[in-house]
Amino acid sequence: MKPEVFLYRFFTALFIYIMSVGVILPRGSIATQISGIIFFIFTFYHFVNLIKPTKQFNLAIFFLVYLSILVVFSSNFLYSLSNLAATAIWIMILPISFLSIDSLEKFKKLINSIALIAILYIINILLSTFLGIKGKSYSGEIFDVGNVFTEGLNSMAYLLVASPLIIHLNPRYRRWIILIAVIIFILVFVQLKRISIIAILIGFIVNLIYSGSRVNILFGLIISGLMILVAYPLFEDTLDKQIKARERRLSTENYEEEGRYQETLVVLDEIVFSSNPKLFFFGKEVFNSPGNYANGRYGKRMIHNDYNAVLHGSGIIGLFLFIFWPIPLFLLYRKIRTIAKYEFEDKKLFDFIATTFISFLVIGYVLSISGGINAILFNAVRVAVIGSSLRILYEYYIKFKKKNS
């Protein structure tokens, strides 16, 4: 299987797998473990076959290697290893996308294959609600989401921000894409997961500030907003129920919000202000936070915030690598942007690719506040779009250089 074909099929297969866990595939069963191993093997195979010295990925790969070394010292090796494997999959997707998506035709196929999970998300909610397939959710009072919770919400946030690019690549289906985007936004909004909603808003703010096609984006947002207003009576009661159901959670006086706040103070105290240099630089119990911070005060509650989790599990070195691995990609983007734009015949396409690249970089940092470093789907969506977008710009940069050498 060619690496680009692997990417085209990856997101649909992963989404269906996530839908199946706890429904068709029992949680923690041999079937789920084998499925996870298969995803890892295929990803690792293409990573090894494609990888070559590319300085833009050095920090990301070193971050992965560094975490792999620390996992050896975990007191719960298998638990840490499973979380490491999930993290490794999406990190490896980054160079795979950059090194394999080297034409606009491949880029369009990849973007469309990722966009397909929006339809699967709607189907999942319909099936879960109709069949009563419950799972962890903010929407249990109104509809069920099965096993597709944070992975789905954050993935939809990325896709909504990328919708101008998706529309431009598929002008024939513009109305359908806008309709699906509106439905997705409503489904995300009524669940009131704040970080996903904030990420969407920030993503579109970045689009409006950064894009040269801001008039088109603004027009699309206005049309979408009007459609949401027209549809409001259809989900008004649903939203009211959700606000009441989430009223306590939306206040500052609930356990999880208090826990997220307290975990930051605990991690800073245990790692940053530790008198032990080993803890300061390398942390402790990477990917194994339940019961291993705050002297076990929070029981089996894991550290949620990615920055806290990385700092606690891998120290200052790990946190530095986690924060800065995208920077070399941004520096390459800045280097090639102007020349690549000159070579593009379709300037709007360039604009949407460049804006989506920047937006995904930014909102990735936002979503990390809520956590999910070991969540494959939405992290893979982010890095696949970032990697492939950068490669397309790079191809046009090289094309210009060759013509003028």
Give residue limits of the domains in the chain.
3-251+325-403
- Residue 227 pLDDT more than 70? yes
283 — pLDDT class (breaks 50, 70, 90): very high
Most confident of the following: 25-34, 47-56, 278-287: 278-287
Q: Each residue of 158-206: pLDDT tens digit?
A: 999 999 999 999 999 999 999 999 899 888 888 878 899 899 999 988 9
Q: Across residues 18-29, what is the average pLDDT?
A: 86
Q: Each residue of 318-328: pLDDT tens digit?
A: 999 999 999 99
Q: Each residue of 131-166: pLDDT tens digit?
A: 888 776 665 556 788 888 889 999 999 999 999 999
255 — pLDDT class (breaks 50, 70, 90): very low
What percentage of residues in the chain have a pLDDT greater than 70? 91
Q: Across residues 324-352, what is the average pLDDT?
A: 94
Q: Give me the pLDDT at residue 138, please.
A: 62
Q: Give me the pLDDT at residue 246, please.
A: 61
The mean pLDDT of the chain is 89
- Calculate the alpha carbon distances from 301 to 307, 308, 337 in Å: 16, 13, 44
Q: Each residue of 72-95: pLDDT tens digit?
A: 999 999 999 999 999 999 999 999
Lowest mean pLDDT among 17-31, 96-110, 205-219: 205-219
Is the model's pTM score more than 0.75? Answer: yes
